[in-house]
Homo-oligomer: A and B are copies of this chain.
Amino acid sequence: MKVVIIGGVAGGASAAARLRRLDESAEIVMVERTGYVSYANCGLPYYVGGVIADRAELTLQTPERFRERFNIDVRVGSEVTAINREAKTVSVREAETGRIYEEPYDKLILAPGAAPVVPAAVSLDSPRVFTLRTVEDALALRTFVIEKAPRRAVVVGGGFIGIEAAENLVEMGVETTLVQRPAQLLKPLDADMAAFVHAEMRAHGVRLVLGGSLEAVDEDACGLVVRLGDGEALPADLVVLVIGVAPEAHLAAEAGLALGQRGSIAADASMRTSDPDIFAVGDAVEVTHGVTGKKALVALAGPANKQGRIAADVICGLNSRYGGSWGSSVIKVFDLTVASTGLNEAAARAQGYDCDTVILSPGSHAGYYPGARPLTMKVVFERDTLRLLGAQIVGAEGADKRIDVLACAMQLGADGARLKDLDLAYAPPYSSAKDPVNMVGFMIENVAAGLMKQAGYDEIPALRSAGATLLDVRTEAEWDRGHIDGFVHIPLDELRDRLGELPTSAPVYVTCQSGLRSYVACRMLAQHGFDAYNFRGGYGFYRVVAADGEPVRCARPCGAER
């Protein structure tokens, strides 16, 4: 059996290694357009910034190593220009020699990845304009920054790579502006959670131009000028274009393979395309979304690696199936960890889910043990079934842990209330006796049982108009440090004695710092006959979201819930 693999990074390299482990006698040819295979794709921004200091670290698996260890015929600098399905060959062009030849296959694996989107208005010909997809891109960008000592950079694109690129440029001392067409960074997050990312970026000196559309990049002797749709002109010594990626499916399309959405390659759960001898894996492939069950594009390394292994299994006769992508992701944003899984609230509503959310701000570990840092967690669940639909977490520590536990629970079908039962490992340096994930379960159970009614800060204007009582139950000191206009202040520990100060005729909406004391207040109020609501997220949450732009944006239109 002869297997040809197009693309030698995540999915392709995984497939190659697994193939060899399963079939010592197969002939395996891996064709890679760049000069590197199995390189550290996700490490490229960190090489630019010098966090990964040694270039060799990026390319631990060399073509030679692949050859020696796995007996794989690795052909770097070689581009497949056509798939000839009837002849069962691919046409390969050697970049160095220009030679074109036909390579026969019994089975073909497409792992071409996704290519950076470059707006028509921008030319990549300038030595000052960069993308960031390959080792070559990273080497070029780092060399430029070191040799030219640029003062100002503009990064266009506020996804994972854009944020990492901006962070690494800042760490190199480059004044950096990040331009993002949507009104927020990081699409996997709801706008309220993205506010924490914005705050962190700004705190580290990145200028954010949100809602900014790139019109053109002009170049003259002095440097570049990035022109935006609103007329703003950003002078820059370098531009990094990381707007997004599009599946590289032109080979598949030209070969007449069935395509998926947005020009991706269609494949079934065994990673097989519409041609039974051709498989496709990684960023170019349409997958089934784990939450919705619908087709989706998810360009992440984890799924690509899993899919490569599955394609190899199936080719070797094993019964492997890809279970779908849940979009679990995490990114370091300076001192913050930002993680998400499944659908955010906006996406869930757009998909038609009748969902609710809980927002909480637990400590990363027991408050009495030094070093605990607040986490901000937002968990989305289906209102009727309590099914978990997604979660988002930002925080300096412990966010990656909780997102993985929530991702695991969601994928294994646990409903939101089940989270309260999880017996997780506790010691003061690591967690609390009631882990944040347990707290999510308690909250969802309370919502489901009608023990906690919730409201959003975006409802405040409407609540004010309707004459609702807005109540802040934090301490005097906390109140003095800042509060929301129009709120009545009664510290929780005095509330029971001062209930008479609140009108019983109007509903009461309660806030505190993290949402816990306000919940206690709501329980007290409800049992004394008040119609009480707990704001999702405490004042700490409100403050960050409000500072990001008034009015408080959230995924749900104001007043839509009740």
Contacts and interface: CB of A to CB of B under 8 A. Distances in A.
Contact of A423 (B407, B422, B519, B524): B407
Contacts of A309: 442
B520 A423 contact: no
B523 A22 contact: yes
Contact of A433 (B42, B424, B425): B42
B412 A325 contact: no
B407 A422 contact: yes
A414 interface: yes
A69 B400 contact: no
Interface string A286-316: 0000100000000011111110010000000
Copies in the complex: 2
Contacts of A366: 40, 42-43
Given A71-B496, A305-B433, A493-B68, A425 B370 contact: no
B409 A330 contact: no
A17 B442 CA distance: 14
Contacts of A324: 423
A434 B302 contact: yes
A481 to B, nearest CB: 20
A429 B332 contact: yes
Interface residues of A, number: 96
A330 B426 contact: yes
Contact of A405 (B318, B405, B494): B405
Given A331-B427, A424-B408, A434 B305 contact: yes
Nearest to A68: B493
A324 B426 CA distance: 16
A489 B437 CA distance: 48
A168 interface: no
A46 interface: yes
Interface of A: 10, 17, 20-25, 40, 42-43, 46, 51-53, 57-58, 60, 65, 68-71, 160, 290, 300-306, 309, 318, 323-332, 337, 339-341, 366-370, 400-401, 403-405, 407-409, 411-414, 418, 420-431, 433-435, 437-438, 442, 449, 451, 492-494, 496, 519-520, 523-524, 527-528
